[in-house]
Amino acid sequence: MAQTQTVERHTIAVLVDNEPGILARVVGLFSGRGYNIESLTVAEVDAAERLSRITVVTSGTPMVIEQIKAQLSRLVPVHKVSDLTVEGPHIERELILVKVAGTGEKRVESLRIADVFRARVVDSTIESFVFEVTGSTEKLDAFINLMRPLGLVDVSRTGVVAIARGPKPL
Amino acid sequence: MADQPMTGSEVILKALVDQGVEVIFGYPGGAVLPLYDAMFKQNSLRHILVRQEGGAVHAAEGYARSTGKVGVVLVTSGPGATNAVTGLTDALMDSIPIVCLTGQVPTHLIGNDAFQEADTTGITRPCTKHNYLVKDPKDLARVMHEAFYVARSGRPGPVVIDLPKDILVGAASYVPPERVKHRSYKPQVKGDLRKIEAAVEMMMKAKRPVFYCGGGVVNSGPAASKLLGQLVHLTGFPCTLTLMGLGAFPASDPQFLGMLGMHGTYEANLAMHGADLLINVGARFDDRVTGRLNAFSPNSKKIHIDIDQSSINKNVAVDLPIVGDAGHVLEDLIKVWKAKQPKIDQKAHKAWWTQIDQWRARDCLKYKPGKDVIKPQYALQRLYEAIKDRDHYITTEVGQHQMWAAQYLKFEEPNRWMTSGGLGTMGYGLPAAMGVQIAHPKALVIDVAGEASILMNIQEMSTIAQYRLPVKVFILNNEYMGMVRQWQELLHGGRYSESYMESLPDFVKLAEAFGAVGLRASKPDELDGVIKEMLATDKAVIADILVDKTENCFPMIPSGAAHNDMLLGPGDESGKPADKSVSEEGMVLV
Ligand SMILES: Cc1ncc(C[n+]2csc(CCOP(=O)(O)OP(=O)(O)O)c2C)c(N)n1
Ligand SMILES: [Mg+2]
């Protein structure tokens, strides 16, 4: 069987029981088997049912991506594994908080760019701002790169959350 | 009964009884004393006191593999749990159902570096199918039942339940097994019927097919082996088995090609290499089987039947995957095959068998007989002649003796052969034999051992003495870590670095020290007498068979080589001798 060796980036959503150790199980699976994690987010999404949703962005050859999905599905507390990248259109978002320190023209310029990116100022002092921005990974990378020469001193980033378009749930 | 107040320990014991458990292999300690106290007051469960916790897990593995039931282990916190880790990993690699109860410090001390505290769920997460830490007594009964379900269903494996001491003594309520349903874990047992039909189509068209089957057939239960036999006979195709699959198809059957893989037969490996269709039932394309991946069975279409989705397309890309239990899928394959009344290409099949018979004629397991020295292969052939008509079970340690046992002992039925395949754990065989003997008190149980491996769990001779288990230890004593020595001879210029077993004990005296019978054979003409005496003794025996120290195990596919690059033994004049050449790439492989 012909298999391509090209490395692809996939966003995978995993619905799991919210129980102690579940994150360690998933992370241990990736490190133990040598899979990449580009980003990983997790939070409870259904308190009544004790379900958490993990969104993991990973990369690998098609065969490795299939393995990752099969290995995740095999974990006992996993309810569902969904490869958003292959299952149709979906939306990916990240949130960042960016701290820019400085005064004068650079400070004004940072505000201008923030406006273009529809960033919100969530904290400010005479010599600093904290911006909050949401968007795709690429947009946030661009924002960070623009802020760097303008006094960027700190970044905190959520990693990707994602959901399929259309009416159907996971 | 359910309404009476119970302690956590009582709930655990009741859950074990309701799960059909009869035997627990264990070792006490501070954290599990309440459970041992509750056990003292009941008669339904038998506890076998091992001499090291590692022995308990291997014993439970032997028990499980020879009965098809879940093996149960009970150990204390800290060192008790860490000693169990090798056995758990072994059970994970070989898909053996185990439930291992580990003691833990009380919940309020967890994380304080308390005496005999270890992060048992953290340590065992990668070496179990699943594990639990019970922090709330109301979860206890559910977790117990879930653990058994997870351990035995789907692809079986070990499950750990970590039990803080306060959970054992506190009040807990019982729930019967019927009321416990797993929320997320639902293994697929029935195969997709359309794919099964497609598989039959492929089988009908094949000209050079081969069945390649493994431990999944054994794990599915004895019915699956029967079905495999039926299907192989219906089709007339040849069949080879992995190390873990031995016994799933009768060794004496003319359609059996022997074991495949690194020390598999010439005919099995060349059939794999030359096939145009592989039908893999319950095997996992392990590197010991495939050899060099890019040269593995290059011209075949591949069907892979496995209960574990993650085994499919892991090492080898297959054309038709079927996820399901081996037994169920085999049953459906037989139905569809019969319904289609296929006309196979008789001429092509005849040519294929002619080719296979030519490979067989090489007689790859031939060896140069010894005049004054016992050849290990000869010792096993004589052993097999003596036991073949008796109800017997074989376990092994790890090394050359293990591979020779796989080659020269013949297995006609499943569940008769217990060996550490995936992990290759020296020290497995003696405790495993103990577990088998507990499950089958009347049967003949033999651990085929090496003198190095046997020392790794020799303390279990004391357990064997305590329970008067008539286990037979058949040591092929070459005074070397033979398999290490063989690799050093073939790959490292004969520099025998640390592979000579100096200062070995006198195994006859050692047997006697443990209340067993010690026997020794050092010349070929002593061998049959020693075997006879061993079998006639109704106590434990250690038979120290002094064999040729420098014998190598052939055929051998060196690491990183292809199936058709097999090294044949010096006894094979027709073939190319072991040329000792191994690729650089192969040198880094294990
Ligand atoms: C616990 C463990 N440690 C090391 C090894 C590596 N190893 C594989 S075979 C072997 C030698 C076994 O010697 P022996 O038991 O005498 O068997 P022989 O090969 O001589 O038949 C060793 C050290 C292993 N498999 N398991
Ligand atoms: Mg040896």
B92 near B74, Cβ under 8 Å?
no
Structure tokens at B183: 């929320």
Identify which of A58, A49, A56, A57 has the alpha carbon closest to the alpha carbon of residue A79. Answer: A49
CA A161 to chain centre: 5
Nearest atom within ligand 1 for CA of residue B404: 21
| Residue with the two structure tokens 């991946």 | B293
Q: Looking at the predicted structure, is the pLDDT value of residue B580 above 60?
A: no
Orientation of helix B346-361 relative to helix B266-274, angle to 10°:
140
Which residue in chain A has the smallest CA separation from B134?
A20
Nearest atom within ligand 1 for CA of residue B450: 15
DSSP state at residue B206: -
Residue B508, amino acid: V
In angstroms, rounded to a whole number, what is the distance separating the alpha carbons of residues B74 and B163?
A: 10
Is the CB of B126 less than 8 angstroms away from the CB of A3?
no
Residues B188, B193, B199: CA angle, nearest 5 degrees: 105
| Residue with the two structure tokens 């999905």 | A69
DSSP state at residue B32: G
Q: What is the pLDDT of residue B569?
A: 83
Q: What is the pLDDT of residue B577?
A: 43
Q: Whole-model pTM?
A: 0.96
pLDDT digits (tens, 9 = 90+) for B545-559: 999 999 999 999 988
DSSP state at residue B138: G
Q: Tally the residues of chain B.
A: 590
Residues with Cβ < 8 Å from B539, sequence gap 6 or more? B468, B470, B515, B516, B517
| Range with lowest mean pLDDT among B103-107, B175-179, B192-196, B236-240 | B175-179
Q: What percent of chain B has pLDDT over 90?
A: 92
Q: Looking at the predicted structure, is the pLDDT value of residue B324 above 50?
A: yes
Ligand closest to Cα of B400 equals 1
Q: Looking at the predicted structure, is the pLDDT value of residue B101 above 80?
A: yes
Is the CB of B129 less than 8 angstroms away from the CB of A76?
yes
State the catalytic residues of B. Answer: 53, 115-116, 165, 483
Is the CB of A67 less than 8 angstroms away from the CB of B313?
yes
Q: Looking at the predicted structure, is the pLDDT value of residue B576 above 50?
A: no
Mean pLDDT for B17-33 is 98
Identify which of B520, B559, B560, B517 has the alpha carbon closest to the alpha carbon of residue B541. Answer: B517
Is the CB of B133 less than 8 angstroms away from the CB of A3?
no
Is the CB of A70 less than 8 angstroms away from the CB of B126?
no
In angstroms, rounded to a whole number, what is the distance separating the alpha carbons of residues B428 and B397?
A: 6
pLDDT digits (tens, 9 = 90+) for B214-251: 999 999 999 999 999 999 999 999 999 999 999 999 99
Mean pLDDT for B345-351 is 97
Q: Looking at the predicted structure, is the pLDDT value of residue B572 above 80?
A: no
Structure tokens at B415: 């569940």
Structure tokens at B498: 């640390």
In angstroms, rounded to a whole number, what is the distance separating the alpha carbons of residues B252 and B279?
A: 21
Q: What is the pLDDT of residue B5?
A: 85
Residue B172, amino acid: A
| Residue with the two structure tokens 């003594």 | B169
Mean pLDDT for B42-62 is 98
3-state secondary structure of B95: coil
Written as one string, the DSSP assignment of B281-323 is: ES----HHHH-SGGGSSTT-EEEEEES-GGGTTSSS--SEEEE
DSSP state at residue A87: S
Residue of A17, A32, A70 lying closest to B309 (CB–CB): A70
Is the CB of B313 less than 8 angstroms away from the CB of A63?
yes
Residue of B129, B135, B310 lying closest to A67 (CB–CB): B310
Mean pLDDT for B348-363 is 97
| A1 contact residues in B (CB cutoff 8 A) | 317-319
CA of B502 to the centre of ligand 1 (A): 15
Q: What is the pLDDT of residue B114?
A: 97
3-state secondary structure of B179: helix
Which residue in chain A has the smallest CA separation from B153?
A76
Q: What is the pLDDT of residue B274?
A: 97
Average pLDDT, chain B: 95
Q: What is the pLDDT of residue B582?
A: 66
Q: How far does B312 lie from chain A, in Å, by closest CA? A: 8
Mean pLDDT for B367-391 is 97
Q: Which residues of chain A have pLDDT under 70?
A: 1-4
Structure tokens at A74: 């095999």
In angstroms, rounded to a whole number, what is the distance separating the alpha carbons of residues B457 and B201?
A: 50
Q: What is the pLDDT of residue B179?
A: 85
3-state secondary structure of B161: strand
B480 near B491, Cβ under 8 Å?
no
Which residue in chain B has the smallest CA separation from A30?
B126
Give bridge partners of residue A53 from the DSSP assignment: A15, A43
Q: What is the pLDDT of residue A53?
A: 98
| B133 contact residues in A (CB cutoff 8 A) | 20-21
3-state secondary structure of B98: strand
| A20 contact residues in B (CB cutoff 8 A) | 133, 135
| A76 contact residues in B (CB cutoff 8 A) | 129-130, 150, 182, 184-185
Neighbours of B539 (CB within 10 A): 15
Written as one string, the DSSP assignment of A46-57 is: ETTTTEEEEEEE
Cα of first residue to Cα of last residue in chain A, in angstroms, is 31
Mean pLDDT for B372-379 is 98
Please name the residue whose Cα sits nearest to atom 11 of ligand 1.
B481
Residue of A24, A74, A77 lying closest to B310 (CB–CB): A74
Is the minimum CB–CB distance between A34 and chain B shorter than 8 Å? no
* Residue ranges around ligand 1 (CB below 6 Å): B 397-401, 424-426, 450-453, 476, 478, 480-484
Is the CB of B309 less than 8 angstroms away from the CB of A1?
no
| Range with lowest mean pLDDT among B304-318, B538-552, B568-582 | B568-582
Residue B340, amino acid: K
Nearest atom within ligand 1 for CA of residue B501: 16
Q: What is the pLDDT of residue B180?
A: 86
ipTM attached to this prediction: 0.92
- B571 pLDDT tier (thresholds 50, 70, 90): low
Please name the residue whose Cα sits nearest to atom 3 of ligand 1.
B426
Residue B347, amino acid: K
Residue of A16, A20, A73 lying closest to B309 (CB–CB): A73
SS (H, E, C) A89-151: CEEEEEEEEEEEECCCHHHHHHHHHHHHCCCEEEEEECCEEEEEEEECHHHHHHHHHHHHHHC
Is the CB of A20 less than 8 angstroms away from the CB of B133?
yes
| B184 contact residues in A (CB cutoff 8 A) | 16-17, 76-79
Q: What is the pLDDT of residue B29?
A: 98
Identify which of B477, B460, B453 has the alpha carbon closest to the alpha carbon of residue B398. Answer: B453
| B135 contact residues in A (CB cutoff 8 A) | 20
Q: How far is it between the farthest Cα atoms of chain A?
A: 64
DSSP state at residue A164: E
3-state secondary structure of A9: strand
Residue of B125, B129, B308 lying closest to A24 (CB–CB): B125
Structure tokens at B59: 């014993």
Probe residue for ligand 1, chosen from B398, B419, B497 as the CB with the greatest number of ligand atoms within 8 Å: B398
pLDDT digits (tens, 9 = 90+) for A107-149: 999 999 999 999 999 999 999 999 999 999 999 999 999 999 9
Omega before B177 within 30 of 0, i.e. cis: no
In angstroms, rounded to a whole number, what is the distance separating the alpha carbons of residues A19 and A52?
A: 9
Residues B518, B521, B526: CA angle, nearest 5 degrees: 125
Q: Tally the residues of chain A.
A: 170
**CA B11 to each of CA A28, A67, B144, B159: distance values in angstroms, whole numbers, following the listed order:** 32, 39, 9, 18
**CA B117 to each of CA B76, B79, B82, B110: distance values in angstroms, whole numbers, following the listed order:** 10, 8, 10, 7
Give bridge partners of residue B25 from the DSSP assignment: B48, B73
Nearest atom within ligand 1 for CA of residue B402: 21
b/e code B203-238 from CB counts within 10 Å (16+ = b): bbebebbbbbbbbbbbbbbbebbebbbbbbeebebb
| A16 contact residues in B (CB cutoff 8 A) | 184
Structure tokens at A159: 């990693």
Q: How far does B314 lie from chain A, in Å, by closest CA? A: 6
In angstroms, rounded to a whole number, what is the distance separating the alpha carbons of residues A77 and A22?
A: 8
Written as one string, the DSSP assignment of B485-527 is: HHHHHHHSTT--TT-B--S---HHHHHHHTTSEEEEE-SHHHH
Q: What is the pLDDT of residue B281?
A: 98
Residue of B121, B133, B185 lying closest to A76 (CB–CB): B185
Residues B112, B115, B120: CA angle, nearest 5 degrees: 75
Q: What backbone torsions phi and psi does residue B177 show, to the nearest 5 degrees?
A: -55, -35
Q: How far does A56 lie from chain B, in Å, by closest CA? A: 18
Mean pLDDT for B170-194 is 94
| Range with lowest mean pLDDT among B133-142, B175-184, B318-327, B577-586 | B577-586
Is the minimum CB–CB distance between B580 and chain A shorter than 8 Å? no
Which residue in chain A has the smallest CA separation from B120?
A21
Is the CB of A63 less than 8 angstroms away from the CB of B183?
no
Is the minimum CB–CB distance between A126 and chain B shorter than 8 Å? no
Residues with Cβ < 8 Å from B21, sequence gap 6 or more? B45, B70, B72
Is the minimum CB–CB distance between B121 and chain A shorter than 8 Å? yes
Is the CB of A76 less than 8 angstroms away from the CB of B130?
yes
CA of B374 to the centre of ligand 2 (A): 14
B469 near B438, Cβ under 8 Å?
yes
B488 near B582, Cβ under 8 Å?
no
